[in-house]
Structure 1
Amino acid sequence: MSKEQQKNVNGGIKVTNLECTGEIIEYNGGVVAEKCTWDVRPSFLGIGFGSWESTSGPCPIGAC
């Protein structure tokens, strides 16, 4: 199993409530993108555990 496949099985994050804010941000040395907010929590074997935490950053491609 590749490291990426193993990471997907062993753990990762669950994401919910992805929202685009309409605000334009600059990140990573001048790249411009729309800002998004979302909630995340840790995941193990596809099962979420722990509490949801709000975060923000550039939107994933195609999210808005």
Structure 2
Amino acid sequence: MWQLCSCIPSTLPDPKAVSLMTAKLSTSFVLETFIHSKEKPTMLQWIELLTKQFNNSQAACEVR
């Protein structure tokens, strides 16, 4: 999951749409799956990734 959410090629046709999709996927994974795990050794990395994704995508920050 980390590879899907953190390593996005810059050659994709619509970078804003891709940023939004990865932010949604990352947020969904953290809140619905990862948060329920007993051990969270990479939680800080996930939070840093989410912060970066939200900083790069205004659409991801909007409430819908």
TM over 0.5: no
The structure carrying a bigger helix percent of its residues is 2
TM-score (norm: length of structure 1) = 0.23
Structure with higher Rg: it is 1
Q: Using CA pairs under 8 Å that are at least 6 residues apart, name the structure with larger relative contact order, 1 or 2.
A: 2
Q: Which has the higher strand share?
A: 1
Give the structure-2-normalised TM-score.
0.23
